[in-house]
């Protein structure tokens, strides 16, 4: 449904008479985008319109009902909506809510609102993708009611809990167990640590294909939990660990050894992200590269390896290049070493040894210690256009340090 069609529908049903002057144009602008957004944000309306919208949901319900009475397949609920039970209840009563497959409650205030969350999820019987990110959720918010609502979503395959305050509890485990068809789980930027990892490993489904755990503290118990997850999941192909811009929780050289031991059964792993904290936190460093090559040896399908921000120098780059010559990266297609300390010699060795990786396509060396001459040598050794696969942007800014 495009913008012109929506304008015709608004005129056809006389909806301009039901809204203040600015209301239809702003809502129309939101409806014109795909995926469609349900825009119920009082801050974007004039004061009178905002007060009217906050006071009752009848106008919202009538407006959407006249658009054939159903919501689109993708719906995003803006933060202000989560603070207004009467508006949410009106939306949830729409018959078309059962057709929504993607629902985003990103940045909505869900702390202490377990009943509201469970009630809101109840009509979404066809939901496959649910985002509850940055919502202030703590362990106490994942109640039996929420787990029951998730259990009713038999088609749910993707769940994002990124950026919350979850430490790992029985509530989290029950919610995960309620989603046996879950294939993608995002727990990044939470507070999971120590015993909390046991609840995560015991709750993750056996058909998981992607697991995002960066921004949490692993230590020994977290490494063991990852091993348990891989023992139960023969399809798990994507694993993301380490630091994020929000949570400075990099992986140390000791932790990568624990992870290596527990990834011996990760035969299906194709994407591995191990971000460090180069701003002063934990990093893999050159010492950790030896463990990374051993991980690659146990993961014959590994295609994408991201080692950004780990203070890797020419020594670590040489260890990766040596592993390429030995055939440990036979399936590798992309290697990311951005924001490290690789110089001209180490970068050139890597480029030359990518010939031992028959599927190799992309090498990211941005924000390293490369000189103008070094970059020219890399482009010549790459053997194809530098813009196609070889990324050295901003490296020259660091070459004199």
Alpha carbon distances (Å) from 100 to 36, 91, 151, 153, 358: 11, 12, 17, 12, 43
Q: How far is the C-alpha of 82 from the C-alpha of 141, rounded, in Å?
A: 15
Q: How far is the C-alpha of 23 from the C-alpha of 102, rounded, in Å?
A: 25
**Residues 321, 351: contact at Cβ < 8 Å?**
no
Alpha carbon distances (Å) from 35 to 24, 38, 43, 71, 255: 19, 10, 21, 11, 40
The residue among 249 and 178 whose pLDDT is bigger is 178
pLDDT digits (tens, 9 = 90+) for 130-156: 999 999 999 999 999 999 999 999 999
Residues 6+ apart with CB under 8 A from 267: 234, 298, 299, 300, 301
Give pLDDT, residue 8.
Answer: 44
pLDDT beyond 90 at 314: yes
Give pLDDT, residue 129.
Answer: 93
**Residues 275, 306: contact at Cβ < 8 Å?**
yes
Q: How far is the C-alpha of 156 from the C-alpha of 57, rounded, in Å?
A: 28
The residue among 158 and 79 whose pLDDT is bigger is 158
pLDDT beyond 60 at 12: no
- How confident is the prediction for the chain on average, in pLDDT? 79
pLDDT digits (tens, 9 = 90+) for 211-251: 999 999 998 999 999 999 999 998 999 999 999 988 888 99
Helix (H) or strand (E) holding 382: helix 372-382
Strands (E), 243-315: 271-275, 304-306
Lowest mean pLDDT among 56-70, 187-201, 315-329, 343-357: 56-70
Specify the 3-state DSSP secondary structure of 269. coil
* 314-325 helix and 285-298 helix, angle to the nearest 10 degrees: 20
Q: How confident is the model at residue 103 (pLDDT cuts 50, 70, 90)?
A: confident
Give pLDDT, residue 385.
Answer: 59
Query: How much is the average pLDDT of 39-57?
Result: 43
List the structure tokens of 224.
Answer: 């063991």
Q: How far is the C-alpha of 266 from the C-alpha of 133, rounded, in Å?
A: 28
List the structure tokens of 358.
Answer: 């028959």
The structure tokens 């957004």 sit at 37
pLDDT beyond 70 at 274: yes
List the structure tokens of 342.
Answer: 């690789």
């Amino acid at each position: 449904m495009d913008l012109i069609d929506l304008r015709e529908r608004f005129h056809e049903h006389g909806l301009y008479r039901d809204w203040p002057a600015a209301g239809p144009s702003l809502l129309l602008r939101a409806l014109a985008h795909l995926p469609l957004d349900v825009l119920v944000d009082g801050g974007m309306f004039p004061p009178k319109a905002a007060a009217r919208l906050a006071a009752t949901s009848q106008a919202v319900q009538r407006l959407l009902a006249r658009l054939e009475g159903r919501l689109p397949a993708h719906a995003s609920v803006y933060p202000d909506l989560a603070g207004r039970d009467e508006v949410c209840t009106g939306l949830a009563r729409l018959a078309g809510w059962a057709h929504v497959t993607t629902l985003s409650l990103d940045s909505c205030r869900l702390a202490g609102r377990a009943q509201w969350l469970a009630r809101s999820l109840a009509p979404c019987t066809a939901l496959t993708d649910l985002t509850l990110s940055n919502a202030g959720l703590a362990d106490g918010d994942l109640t039996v009611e929420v787990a029951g609502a998730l259990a009713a979503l038999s088609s749910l395959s993707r769940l994002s809990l990124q950026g919350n305050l979850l430490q790992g509890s029985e509530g989290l485990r029950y919610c995960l167990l309620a989603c046996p068809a879950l294939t993608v789980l995002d727990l990044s930027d939470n507070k999971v640590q120590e015993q909390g990892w046991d609840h995560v490993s015991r709750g993750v489904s056996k058909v998981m294909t992607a697991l995002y755990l960066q921004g949490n503290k692993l230590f020994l118990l977290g490494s063991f939990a990852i091993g348990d997850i891989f023992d139960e999941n023969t399809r798990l192909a994507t694993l993301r660990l380490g630091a994020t811009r929000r949570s400075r929780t990099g992986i140390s050289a000791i932790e990568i050894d624990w992870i290596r031991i527990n990834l011996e059964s990760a035969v299906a792993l194709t994407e591995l992200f191990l971000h460090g904290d180069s701003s002063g936190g934990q990093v893999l460093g050159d010492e950790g590269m030896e463990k990374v090559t051993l991980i690659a040896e146990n993961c014959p399908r590994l295609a994408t390896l991201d080692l950004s921000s780990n203070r890797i120098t020419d020594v670590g780059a040489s260890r990766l290049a040596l592993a390429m010559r030995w055939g440990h990266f036979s399936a590798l297609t992309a290697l990311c070493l951005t924001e490290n300390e690789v110089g001209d010699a180490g970068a050139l060795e890597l480029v030359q040894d990518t010939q031992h990786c028959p599927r190799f396509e992309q090498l990211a060396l941005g924000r390293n210690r490369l000189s103008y001459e070094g970059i020219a040598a890399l482009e010549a050794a790459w053997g194809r256009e530098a813009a196609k696969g070889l990324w050295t942007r901003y490296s020259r800014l660091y070459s004199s340090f």
